[in-house]
Amino acid sequence: MSRRWPRGLCAVLLLMAWAAPEARDKPSPPVGRGRKVMDVDAKEYVGPTLPRARVRLEDASGGVHRVDVEVAATPEARTRGLMWRQELPAGQGMLFIFPEEEVQSFWMRNTLIPLDMLFIDSAGKIVGIVENAQPRTLTSRSVGLPGRYVLEVPGGWSRASGIARGGTVRFQGLEGIPVVP
């Protein structure tokens, strides 16, 4: 026995799937009291508090720069990232940890501020940097080389701090933070 969907319903579903990115980026309507938003992309989503750690980066002159980070080590936290944040103070960032070292790619949908993205391999080497990624775009950003970590910091921070590809990174406080595939 086969079942057919009503033609009108198919058209509505198709239109929703192909809606313009600017229409998809609009915040969801307010949620009633006691109703939790489950969509990690939604502005109203409130996820669990992320663990905190510190990243120490060496600049080209051997100087050390410290960044206090929130750690995104679950699929939901990695998807949410820094969406909807209106600021990211100097010395702050987000560290994304992936289960495997592979080519990572990021976009800036629902991200309101420019960011630098530092792609770091398992040995703690910066394999590439995307500087000043433009906010609110679906452009895929990658350095094309395998990495296990991506550090997001305020746009322009890497250049201003003298951080470059090939630099060394050390992590403090990641012990005991489970990385969920």
**In a structure prediction context, what are the per-residue pLDDT tens digits for the chain, which is 181 residues long?**
444 444 443 443 433 444 444 444 545 445 455 567 777 777 887 888 999 999 999 988 899 999 999 999 999 999 999 999 999 999 999 999 999 999 999 999 999 999 999 999 999 999 999 999 999 999 999 999 999 999 999 999 999 999 999 999 999 999 999 999 9
**pLDDT computed for residue 103 by the predictor:** 98
Q: Does a structural domain hold residue 15? A: no
CATH number, domain with residue 128: 2.60.120.1140
Closest CA to 52 of 73, 25, 38: 73
Q: Is 24 part of a structural domain of the chain? A: no
Asked, for residue 29, whether it belongs to a domain, the answer is no
Residue 84: give the domain boundaries.
52-172
Which region, left, alpha or beta, applies to residue 132 given φ > 0 means left and ψ of -120 to 50 means alpha? Answer: left
Look at residue 136 and tell me if it is in a domain: yes
- Please tell me the distance from the alpha carbon of residue 96 to that of residue 118, in angstroms, as a whole number: 10
Is 133 part of a structural domain of the chain? yes
Residue 101 in any domain: the answer is: yes
Share of the chain residues as helix, strand and coil, in percent rounded to the nearest 5: 15, 35, 55
Domain count, the chain: 1
Residue 106 lies in a domain: yes
Asked if residue 18 is part of any domain, the answer here is: no
